[in-house]
Amino acid sequence: MSTGFEGKWKLESSENFDEYMKALGVSYLVRKMGAAAKPVVTVTNKGDEWTLKSESSVKTSEFTFSFDKEFDETTADGRKVKSTMARDGETKWTQIQKGEPQSTITRELTDPNTLVTICVAKDISSKRIYKRV
């Protein structure tokens, strides 16, 4: 299920990401590095477990999850949160990161080669578009 997500995705465009990171309380220096990064996200699946690995020249981060089960996550900017990933059909995943503040990350396949990620914290939204590599 949701095998369309598997594979490698390269960031193609990003809107309002600095404002989103600011809403999370990310420092100026880390925001500037994050804005400059063009990560490649690799999604893999083994049984009930999924892994998302984000690699860039700035930082590599990774987390493994099972749908609808809370897990501990250390975000790319170093925050420690409790996350849950839910699946909405075959084309949409919604991640809730419980922390201060809470963040919601929605990943949606708009076609087989485009992954749109919407990140929201404190009513600030960022749209990031990834293309299949």
CA distance 77 to 82: 15
Condensed to tens digits (0 to 9), the pLDDT of residues 107-131 reads: 999 999 999 999 999 999 999 999 9
Q: Where are the domains of the chain?
A: 3-132
Q: Regarding the domain with residue range 3-132, which homologous superfamily does it belong to in the CATH classification?
A: Calycin beta-barrel core domain (2.40.128.20)
- Please give the average per-residue pLDDT across 56-80, as a whole number: 93
When pLDDT is cut at 50, 70 and 90, the band that residue 1 belongs to is very low
Is the confidence at residue 82, as pLDDT, over 60?
A: yes
DSSP letter at 96? E
When pLDDT is cut at 50, 70 and 90, the band that residue 36 belongs to is confident
